Structure 1
């Protein structure tokens, strides 16, 4: 689509509404699409969208300036719950040096070591690690701690009250290392988990540890050069003794919404079409049924008798269940990738061929480079990719963090000592 015209799917993504909502707006006169002057498709002109705040952010993006942000010096990163490296790779691309990465899953650790032999990957339970050798020797501590339930009974939920959860281990690492900045990412659901009490407890602990928390924000990967409708909640904290005049600014969006075609075909993201790789396949009957689903369609696009056969009892339940029997579209971003592309509740069928997405297709949608290999069984590889932070989303956040640290360095003289811990010594940190 030209820069002046936007498809219905693009506008739905830009405004964060459903296509059904756009159809209602069309019917009631709120926002009526027009015909494209060349191909006669129903589209929206840029001028129709300019009064929407979400569209203004996109149209007035500072992306081109932010892409040039570079570190003033070598900023050191310690990461927990590193997974297959999506967050670490994006932060590396922004200019960070990863000096310590912890991950429990053996396949993910092998992935990290295979692709970055120079990275200090420490495999094991985070609860068994002593982080004090890194005290005052890192600039940033990052990680996507899994969200576990806290016990709220009569508690204000300070640092000690979160003991036994993985967030406690994240907070303990912060306490033991004293980084300038902390960044954590999590699922959008954390915002409303336990009616907001979980996030409130996390905020209390971050404050107790001596960090000023930027108001958490849900970032939509589709705005950051990621061809996928994935959302992640980010929390950024600055050590209170350093805040001064430094200001953290969330990254600006890319200038357009990328699609599945951008992920799998040669273009703005990749210099070649997606390479061949291993992938799962459908059982015979399931393949026959999915072959009937049009591009961009799902189970409601099947004949009624086939709907009943495929959906079984779910046919009679409420809700759209739009992930079931879902075939992706070339001209839209992918739905959020899960850990299993052939799972019935969350189908991710190729737009043309009747099969699940392959491992490399999965990786491209998460914006991993083609030379980033994944270890373990095919199930383990899908799981690592499905759980990852999209690399380009991490890259965008990383540039914003670099800008923040550059500001902090201008306001305060750097006082980090040379990092004394060798890889061999770090293994001794495990009990």
Structure 2
């Protein structure tokens, strides 16, 4: 028997990384969750989302009336990093017009959820000399939210992938939210890599031998990183998966490409998740996804403040230990 139900919306939902993180965290805390709205403009992402969750996301967020979106407790959004045109004094939300962040802000302003979690690339922190993030934070404060942000790394939350992202958390009430501490160790590559891999993912014998002459790895298994100039390094984890063409090639033990399932595992997607698209689309989708484990760690810290049925005692104790050490 669930203690309560939390409703959420999933903007720029992609293939559902936020949704999986939230639903897992809720289930583990005996809280029922319900997605009441999702949106993504990419057809293939919509296909994957529908295949796995039984709901097809709405399309272009700029064409959606915020008043038509159902009420919800929490909002999730991983949005593109875009510059703002700032003329004169900072005007908060007005400065964001013409960007996709503006659409997030107008929905938050209209629907007033208890909280939100936004995700963006690490470069947002320094984008346009820090002005972009400053405008975002100010706009969210202007519509009535307490806002915190931090750069988190998926490698610190159980995933063998070095993927740094800025996470922005907002809440209507003043709470003692803190970002999750790093969790060590991360999952071994042995748990990620498939045992049987199709031949099409392997490089030719000539290429493999050529790479091995060029580089000797200290780790096994390992992910080799080969850049445009041909320099190779290897680690017992992957560098960040990327959605498009990249000169940073990822190679398992210097021999083959990652399979779609391995890329999804590196992002924390469970094996029940159906991959219904081509290899090229799967690479794009994995590269665009949020790291599930990292977002789940953030959700778990925020959940006691959003779900009224949960005991906040442990949160308060952690806060006291961190800020009022005896």
What TM-score does the superposition give when structure 2 sets the normalisation length?
0.82
| The one of 296, 313, 318 aligned to 1:395 | 296
Per the alignment, residue 270 of structure 1 pairs with: none
Q: In the aligned structure 1, how far is the partner of 2:253 from the partner of 2:163?
A: 19
SS in 1 for 2:86: coil
Q: Which residue of 1 aligns with 2:253?
A: 351
Q: 1:237 aligns with which of 142, 145, 170?
A: 170
2:264 paired with 1:360: no
1:212 Cα shift? Answer: 1.0
Distance 1:106 1:279, change over 3 A: farther
1:327 is displaced (CA, Å) by 6.0
Residues 284 and 158 of structure 1, relative CA distance in 2, 3 Å threshold:
farther
* Aligned residue among 19, 39, 43 for 1:106: 43
Number of residue-to-residue matches in the alignment: 300
Distance in 2 between the 1:344 and 1:133 partners?
Answer: 39
Q: Where do residues 65-80 of structure 1 align in structure 2 (5 Å cutoff)?
A: 72-80=3-11
CA-CA distance at 1:409 after TM superposition: 8.1
The secondary structure found in structure 1 opposite 2:243 is coil
Task: Note closer, same or farther for the CA distance 1:275–1:171 as it changes in structure 2 (3 Å cut).
Answer: farther
Is contact 1:105-1:123 (8 Å) kept? no
5+ long unaligned stretches in structure 2: 27-32, 313-326
Counterpart residue number, 1:338:
242
Whole-Å separation in 2 of the counterparts to 1:278 and 1:384 = 23
* Structure (1 or 2) with the greater strand fraction: 2
Give how far 1:275 is off.
Answer: 6.0
SS at structure 2 position matched to 1:349: strand
Deviation (angstroms), 1:85: 1.2
**Displacement of 1:299:** 5.9
What do residues 180-230 of structure 1 show as CA deviations (whole Å, max 9, x unaligned)? 10110111111111111111101110011111112x101111111111111
Q: Secondary structure at the match of 2:252?
A: coil
Aligned residue number for residue 294 of structure 1 = 216
Distance in structure 2 (CA, Å) of the matches to 1:327 and 1:183: 34
Q: TM-score, normalised by structure 1?
A: 0.63
Q: Distance in 2 between matches of 1:162 and 1:283?
A: 50
CA contact (8 A) 1:211 1:237 kept: yes
Q: Post-superposition shift, 1:81?
A: 0.4
Report the aligned-residue RMSD: 2.8
Structure 2: distance between partners of 1:236 and 1:408: 21
Q: Are the counterparts in 1 of residues 10 and 37 from structure 2 also a CA contact under 8 Å?
A: yes
- The yes-or-no answer on 1:140 pairing with 2:78 is no
Return closer, same or farther for 1:410/1:367 CA change in 2, 3 Å cut-off: closer
Asked if structure 1 preserves the Cα contact closer than 8 Å seen for 2:122 and 2:164, the reply is yes
Partner of 1:165: 99
Q: 2:270 aligns with which of 362, 365, 369?
A: 369
CA-to-aligned-CA distance 1:21-61 (integer Å, 9 cap, x gap): xxxxxxxxxxxxxxxxxxxxxxxxxxxxxxxxxxxxxxxxx
Deviation at 1:126, TM superposition (A): 0.4
Q: CA deviation at 1:406?
A: 3.1
Gap runs ≥5 in structure 1: 1-70, 265-272, 301-309, 312-323, 412-431
Question: Cα gap change, 1:163/1:275 in structure 2, threshold over 3 Å: closer, same or farther?
Answer: farther
- 1:142 CA displacement: 1.0
